[in-house]
Amino acid sequence: MEALAARLSHLDTEAGGTIRVVMFYDTLMRRRVDLPALTRASAALAECVVGLRLHGTGRTIRTAPDGRPPAHDPAPASTTLPITLDDEEIGTVWLERPQGEGPLDDLLLDRLSIAAAATLERYGPARTTMADPALVELVISTENDEAARARALRLLGLAVDRPLHVIAVRTPLPLDRIGALLCPTSPVKAAPLDEVGVVLATAVDRTRLPAGTYAGIGTGPDPHTSWTHARTALRLTTELRPVIDHRELGALALLAHIPHQVLHQDTDVTSIARLARDPEDLKTLDAYCSTGSLRQAARLLHLHHSSVSRRLDQIGADLDITLTDPDGLLRAKIALTSWRLLHDRPPTP
């Protein structure tokens, strides 16, 4: 590589420099070099420190022009550029040129970024988050045999013999960002499907999700069951409870199997539908049903417990349910859950 760089260095015009850079990276890509070799060759060509970082793994490579790791700490980057694969930013490349940006640095980094993406794809599976929706659908579909599902998992870069979480997501943010937040250290794949985001992950960190994102987590004996569980959990998410693991629902999950027309005819569910016309009343009842405690509900709502008590007295009268009675609280919780299953789009905060 160094010899090639030396031969091309005799081109001294701007056009010649452009040709030099393009030819250099075309040659590297034909030779199918790995990332360390790509970075070493780039540092020799740029005659300064070159850096490369992958978001998915945190792997960082910095190389000096002599092909060795730099003896000094990282300097401020003079030029940076993202590495993009399938419209997803998966890393960054940069130059540490002490005298500032050079005339061909943008071109050099552009070609380095393209070559790095091609290298990651070739030696993959690449650590991207977004996946082919058709492959994700193969994994969670009930119509495929185990061999087809296993092949789809392998193509996605996921282990066939490891437990798999399936997460149903609604979010205003890019789905690749949500996937990376949910599973920052293990393989994760995501794809949009039927207006819902699907995330396949081997581990889940639910505490990292940003506000405005709703997620239902499914962990079943197979991916299809997990997907069914995840969608049910998503339908029951609320502003106060934006992330639900299906296992937390217990027997309440059985309500998802009741036909909608039956739920529509229930008088308690009808009463909840009337109550829902006032978002504050609905939020108050939700907080009380979620905690079973007046004071804990008040803390969730950031209100004084006496104010919440007065609200609950009025809500109980409107529903004709004694909310302070254990049976009444259970009745309200079942009715509220049933209503959410009929109106399963989470509210906007």
CATH number of the domain within which 110 lies? 3.30.450
Q: Flag whether pLDDT at 345 surpasses 70.
A: no
pLDDT for res 129: 78
Average pLDDT, the chain: 87
| DSSP-derived 3-state class of residue 180 | helix
Per-residue tokens: 275: 């109550």
Residue 115: DSSP 8-state: H
Answer with the residue of higher pLDDT: 348 or 327. 327
Residue 174 belongs to some domain of the structure: yes
316-325 per-position pLDDT tens digit = 999 999 999 9
Residue 348 has pLDDT above 60, yes or no: no
DSSP 8-state assignment for residue 348: P
pLDDT at 128 (0 to 100): 67
Alpha helices in 9-104 (DSSP H): 14-30, 35-46
Q: Does some domain include residue 214?
A: yes
Question: What is the distance between the alpha carbons of residues 150 and 203, in angstroms, rounded to a whole number?
Answer: 19
Are 147 and 85 within one domain?
no
Cα–Cα distance between 241 and 340 in angstroms, integer?
13
Q: Residues 287, 234: one domain?
A: no
Q: What is the pLDDT of residues 117-152, one digit of tens each?
A: 888 877 654 456 778 888 899 999 887 778 888 888
Which residue in this structure is represented by tokens 């006032």?
Answer: 278
Residue 94: pLDDT band (50, 70, 90) is very high
How does pLDDT run across 171-200, given as a tens digit for each residue? Answer: 998 888 898 888 887 788 999 988 899 999
pLDDT tens digits, 205-221: 989 999 999 999 998 88
Q: Flag whether pLDDT at 62 surpasses 70.
A: yes
Q: Using an 8 Å Cβ cutoff, are 129 and 179 in contact?
A: yes
Q: Write down the residue that tokens 């790509």 correspond to.
A: 38
212 and 305 both lie in a single domain: no
| Pairing state between β 188-193 and 243-245 | unpaired
15 pLDDT tier (thresholds 50, 70, 90):
low
DSSP category for residue 197: E
Total number of domains in the chain: 3
> Is 348 a member of any domain?
no
Residues 73 and 183 in one domain: no
Whether 233 is in a domain gets the answer yes
| Domain final residue, candidates 214, 249, 284 | 249
Query: Among the three residues 122, 146, 171, which one is the final residue of a domain in this structure?
Result: 122
Consecutive H or E run containing 84: strand 79-85
Element (H, E) at 79: strand 79-85
Residue 223 lies in a domain: yes
Token pair of 317 as six digits: 């009268």
Same domain, 30 and 66: yes
- Residue 34 Cα distances to 37, 119, 318, angstroms: 5, 6, 69
pLDDT tens-place string over residues 293-302:
999 999 999 9
Interhelix angle 35-46/105-122, nearest 10 degrees: 170
CATH number at residue 267: 1.10.10.2840
Integer angstrom CA distances of residue 191 from 55, 56, 195, 328? 19, 17, 10, 42
Determine the Cα–Cα distance for residues 227 and 224; give it in Å rounded to an integer. 5
Evaluate whether residue 349 is within a structural domain: no
User: Above 50 in pLDDT, residue 8?
Assistant: no
Same domain, 211 and 281: no
Residue 129's nearest CA partner among 38, 198, 48, 67 is 198
Domain of 271, in residue numbers? 258-342
Mark which of 200, 227, 249 sits at the end of a domain: 249
> In degrees rounded to 5, what are phi and psi of residue 2?
-65, -40
